[in-house]
Amino acid sequence: MDFNTIFRNNQEWVASKLAADPDFFKSLALGQTPEYLYIGCSDSRVTAEELMGAQPGEVFVHRNVANLVISTDNNLNAVMQYAVNELKVKHIIVCGHYECGGVKAAMNPRDLGQLNSWLQSLRDVYRFHREELDAIDDEVLRYDRLVELNVQEQCINIIKIDHVQRAWYTSGFPHIHGWVFDVRTGRLKDLGLDMKKVFRDVKSIYDLMPLHGL
């Protein structure tokens, strides 16, 4: 796709929105009130709004390689603080995807330059669950399972964040969800994680506000 095509597509998109609602962009300019924070992979095949069928203004999005939630990532922390404290999102979604290049790299270690330190967190997930993963003979299924386990671990990382805990104690939100996008079928898979139960199980380790009840 060349640049002329991109701008032509933009003009057509604008025209279609205005045809459906002449005030669409006036309303959009007034601000955003999304109920969802979506944390996904940077992979070009996985576009948050499109796979969710969402419209502009409905989803606050953060993407990085392999959809990681790393405590020292200032970018992620800024997104999380703004989403929880200012936008007051009701749901946080971590969405991985099958056929993830980051996951495959984590299970086949080699020197990847700047990606080495980034993927270390994902290799840690492999280490945590190595016995289960190494017992899966089918390579594709092994990669798929690490995708799911990585989503689970990143959801656990979210419950360690002070902004999230503080919001839970004051409002009960946000709910945290772990999803996987199957690029082979186009379908979303909800992993059915109960993150408040997980938090209760690890509360003595990670609770930053122990005087509150949850």
Give the pLDDT confidence of 116-159 residue by residue, as tens digits: 999 999 999 999 999 999 999 999 999 999 999 999 999 999 99
Give the pLDDT confidence score for residue 212 in this predicted structure.
Answer: 58
If DSSP codes are grouped into helix, strand and coil, which group holds residue 127? helix
Catalytic residue among 21, 23, 91, 97: 97
Give the pLDDT confidence score for residue 203 in this predicted structure.
Answer: 86
Catalytic residue among 8, 21, 45, 127: 45
Q: How far is the C-alpha of 136 from the C-alpha of 123, rounded, in Å?
A: 17
Give the pLDDT confidence score for residue 174 in this predicted structure.
Answer: 96
Q: What does the domain layout of the chain look like in residue ranges?
A: 1-30, 32-203
| pLDDT band of 175, cuts 50, 70, 90 | very high
In the residue annotation, 41 being an active-site residue is answered as yes
In the residue annotation, 100 being an active-site residue is answered as yes
For the entire predicted model, the pTM comes to: 0.92
Catalytic residue among 41, 95, 142, 177: 41
In the residue annotation, 43 being an active-site residue is answered as yes
In the residue annotation, 97 being an active-site residue is answered as yes
Characterize 136-169 residue by residue with b for buried, 16 or more Cβ atoms within 10 angstroms of its Cβ, and e for exposed: eeeeeebbbbbbbbbbbbbbbbbbbbebbbebbe
- Please, what is the average pLDDT of the chain? 93
Q: How far is the C-alpha of 134 from the C-alpha of 142, rounded, in Å?
A: 8
Mean pLDDT of 173-199: 95
- Strands (DSSP E) contained in the chain are 36-41, 59-64, 91-97, 175-181, 188-190
β-pairing verdict for 175-181 and 188-190: antiparallel
In the residue annotation, 45 being an active-site residue is answered as yes
Count other Cβ atoms within 10 Å, centred on residue 64: 17
Instruction: Tell me the CATH class for 32-203.
Output: alpha beta
| pLDDT band of 177, cuts 50, 70, 90 | very high
Catalytic residue among 62, 95, 100, 177: 100
